[in-house]
Amino acid sequence: MELYYIPAACSLAAHIASLEAGLPTTFRRVEMSPTGNTVDGADYTEINPLGLVPTLVDGDRKISEAAVVLQYIADMAEGRLGDVTGPGRWKLLEMLNFLATEIHKSIGPLFRPDLPGEARPFFEKLVSSRLTAAQDRIESSGYLVGDGFTIADAYFFTLLGWCNFLKMDMSPWPKLGEYAQRIGSRPAVQQALKEEGLA
């Protein structure tokens, strides 16, 4: 199995999940360039026509989109990263979609250098409201879904890293700081960060 990633991108969540699951995976770094993303000098759009990460290649199967790649990894992990096939899957799938559509897509524009100045406060306010909602969803177990670490936690940890990179004031959400520290201390998370040159 091969996972194509860009350091610190949403593919970090899949990198973490694959290590947590102990799946034999080759991690292939995608190099960003103004002339087009490459892998080992080759045009990455041959792997993913949109040039986006993550892309997971498993035999003849090629999967993209972070939330879907994470579900595939969780399925391969046979329940160790959350229930994605049984009757308990709905809460996990709801959380994954919330992370992808409400937080991921709200933070993304803040990375754009061409984002008009008048648009920035709109997206910052949107992200703030979504972070409040996410903080409220952390269960008494300390995880987003159920009693243990799931693919949702890998994804949310990655998105919280973006907030830190953007130097967002996270003081309104103290519980998120504690959450990120706890998730970040996991051996698989530390390994993924090191392998991507982030720690």
Domain of 26, CATH number, reads 3.40.30.10
Q: Please write the tens of the pLDDT for every residue from 82-106.
A: 988 888 899 999 999 999 999 999 9
| 109 close to 119: Cβ distance less than 8 angstroms | yes
CA angle 160, 166, 169 (to 5 degrees): 75
Indicate whether 61 and 130 sit together in one domain.
no
Q: Report yes or no on 125 lying in a domain.
A: yes
Indicate whether 70 and 134 sit together in one domain.
no
Indicate whether 71 and 156 sit together in one domain.
no
Q: With 90 as the cut, is the pLDDT of residue 169 above it?
A: yes
Q: What is the pLDDT of residue 28?
A: 98
Q: Please write the tens of the pLDDT for every residue from 5-27.
A: 999 999 999 999 999 999 999 99
Domain of 114, CATH number, reads 1.20.1050.10
Q: Report yes or no on 33 lying in a domain.
A: yes
Q: What percent of the chain has pLDDT over 90?
A: 93
Bridge partners (DSSP) of residue 4 are 28, 55
Q: Give the separation between CA 188 and CA 174, rounded to whole angstroms.
A: 24
Q: Report yes or no on 122 lying in a domain.
A: yes
Count of the separate structural domains present in the chain: 2
Indicate whether 69 and 145 sit together in one domain.
no
Indicate whether 97 and 53 sit together in one domain.
no
Q: Give the separation between CA 15 and CA 188, rounded to whole angstroms.
A: 9
Bridge partners (DSSP) of residue 31 are 38
Task: Supply the pTM of this predicted model.
Answer: 0.96
Indicate whether 71 and 16 sit together in one domain.
yes
Indicate whether 25 and 63 sit together in one domain.
yes
Q: Give the separation between CA 120 and CA 38, rounded to whole angstroms.
A: 30
Indicate whether 68 and 98 sit together in one domain.
no
Give the pLDDT mean for 126-149: 96
Indicate whether 9 and 72 sit together in one domain.
yes
Q: Domain limits at 72?
A: 2-79+188-195
Phi-psi region of 65 (alpha: psi -120 to 50; beta: other; left: phi over 0): left
Indicate whether 94 and 62 sit together in one domain.
no
Indicate whether 63 and 104 sit together in one domain.
no
Q: Report yes or no on 84 lying in a domain.
A: no
Q: With 90 as the cut, is the pLDDT of residue 195 above it?
A: yes
Q: What is the pLDDT of residue 87?
A: 83
Beta strands at 55-58 and 61-64: parallel, antiparallel or unpaired: antiparallel
Closest listed residue to residue 154, CA positions, set 24, 18, 26, 57: 18
Closest listed residue to residue 143, CA positions, set 193, 186, 199: 186
Indicate whether 19 and 71 sit together in one domain.
yes
